[in-house]
Amino acid sequence: MGSYLSVASSNAGSVDSENVHGSVSNKRAKITTYDFESYSRIIPTLPDELSFQILARLPRICYLKLKMVSRNWKAAITSSELAQLRRELGLLEEWLYVLTKVEANKLDCHALDPSSQKWQRLPSMPSFVSEEESSGRTRSYGFRMWNAVGSSSRIADFFRGWFWRRYGLDQMPFCGCSVGVADGCLYVLGGFSKAVALNCVWRYDPCVNLWQEVNPMMSGRAFSKASLLESKLYVVGGVSRGRNGLLPLRSGEVLDPKTGLWSELPEMPFVKAQVLPTAFLADVLKPIATGMASYKGKLYVPQSLYSWPFFFDIGGEIYDSELNSWTTMPDGLGDGWPARQAGTKLGVVVNDELYTLEPSSSLDSGQIKKYDPEEDIWRTIVPQVPVHDFTDAESPYLLAGLRGKLHVVTKDASNNLQIMQVVLQNDAGNGASEVGNALWNTVASKNFGAAELISCQVLDA
């Protein structure tokens, strides 16, 4: 940088000392007459190839300020060339993205750099209002994007309204988006707005720090499940609008982020749901997908039958992308998959191991379980998890696999968001049902006030 400034001074336009007053004014004149944007190179004294090598090796958190140096620097830092170079050099950094609901119909997203323990607040999602809404028609199908992802009611209230017809369709609250990742970007998909299950998709690109609307899904869906498999983003299940209320969806689709195109998946069979009488199944119990995890090269989707306020586990099904077909999930895996509020089943894969968190009957603990594929059972590996289970929260805790370690995201009694890393000890792999020693390390903490947890994702960039 020293040579950069010296070159700038030597090439500055000449200034007649008789036209300025004093040496200070002369220095200011020299600086202001220099055109920093006149150079086509990123760093004027270096080839761009070398400049890219330098920028690629800087911590990603530095890019936030370096983009303000000049237009050339901003263009270089936000370019696909720099991102590709960081990928080739193995310099991609994992950041944790946490989505929260700060108030009714508003979603916020913050990114954590675990190395510096610094937070970055993402820009707000753009709003979109359809012509029908802007023209003030009575039956409006318009929406604002944050309406689709926020919620003025709990998930449990939504399902209660679904089965008990508490709400008319036009009075349904805004809720039910899905969140996923693909190709180093964050995706927010669908949701429910008034009488419409949305098919809209918004993508956040961390390189340019912007949200963009991309190709919509083939079907409108809310409360669907999303997961990454083989560089593609899969979305399955959820609900849509039916003749007599909301219709559970068996369908799924997949996005290829390289082309931006969606493709249809075969419907989930819900084989175990077929053992019940058809009339009883249709009128009382609704088959829904309650989770999804990318595990061992396939998609594992636990399923349930729902009748407020009860969930009945019916195992689950596995999607094989090579065969483009569904098979029944092993009994122990599906039936033993723990559920949190409203039947949602968490699942995160860390180092090829599938983990979940089972809430306890108390308000301040839980258990971490790991699936044993050989025995087809869930084993408790951490019998005591320090989570504060807010009974009125949609997502009192979340799981994330960050930098090869299992993390629990939760809030303490003071509303501080806690990112806690668990390090398992004395795991001899002898089949013991419990591992009593677990070291908890608080990676980061931040006060988000009364904001509720919605989702968390890990991105490489």
Q: What average pLDDT does the segment 26-35 reach? A: 38
| Residue of 252 and 177 predicted with greater confidence | 252
Note the pLDDT of residue 11.
41
Q: Average pLDDT, whole number, for the chain?
A: 78
> What share of the chain in percent tops pLDDT 70?
71
Note the pLDDT of residue 423.
85
Q: What average pLDDT does the segment 49-68 reach? A: 94
Among the listed ranges 145-154, 247-256, 395-404, which one has the minimum average pLDDT value? 145-154
Tell me the pLDDT tens digit for each residue of 94-137. Answer: 999 999 887 666 788 999 999 999 999 999 876 543 333 333 33
**DSSP bridge pairs for 380:** 369
Write down the pTM of the prediction.
Answer: 0.81
Among the listed ranges 66-70, 225-229, 301-305, 384-388, which one has the minimum average pLDDT value? 384-388
Which of the four pLDDT bands, split at 50, 70 and 90, describes residue 390? low
- Burial of residue 208 (CB within 10 Å: 0-12, 13-18, 19+) is middle
Task: State how far the alpha carbon of 290 is from the alpha carbons of 200, 243, 278, 300, 317, in Å.
Answer: 21, 23, 21, 11, 11
Reference 103, options 118, 124, 83; nearest CA is 124
Cβ atoms within 10 Å, residue 256: 14
Tell me the pLDDT tens digit for each residue of 129-184. Answer: 333 333 333 333 333 333 333 333 344 555 444 444 444 434 333 478 899 999 99
Distance of alpha carbon 250 from alpha carbon 270, whole angstroms = 8
Residues 6+ apart with CB under 8 A from 138: none
Q: What average pLDDT does the segment 330-341 reach? A: 87
- Burial of residue 151 (CB within 10 Å: 0-12, 13-18, 19+) is buried
Compute the C-alpha angle 265/336/234, nearest 5°: 20
HEC profile of the chain: CHHHHHHHHHCCCCCCHHHCCHHHHHHHHHHHHCCHHHCCCCCCCCCHHHHHHHHHCCCHHHHHHHCCCCHHHHHHHCCHHHHHHHHHCCCCCEEEEEEEEEECCEEEEEEEECCCCEEEECCCCCCCCCHHHHCCCCCCCCCCHHHHHCCCCCHHHHHHHHHHCCCCHHHCCCECCEEEEECCEEEEEEEEECCEEEEEEEEEECCCCEEEEECCCCCCCECCEEEEECCEEEEECCEEEECCEEEECCCEEEEECCCCEEEEECCCCCHHHHHCCHHHHHHCCEEEECCCEEECCEEEEEEEEEECCEEEEEEEEEEECCCCEEEECCHHHHHCCCCCHHHCCCCEEECCEEEEEEECCCCCCEEEEEEECCCCEEEEEECCCCCCCCCCCCCCEEEEEECCEEEEEEECCCCEEEEEEEEECCCCCCCCCCCCCEEEEEEEEEECCCCEEEEEEEEEC
Q: List the end-to-end C-alpha distance of the chain, in Å, as a whole number.
A: 26
Q: What average pLDDT does the segment 54-80 reach? A: 93
Q: What average pLDDT does the segment 297-317 reach? A: 85
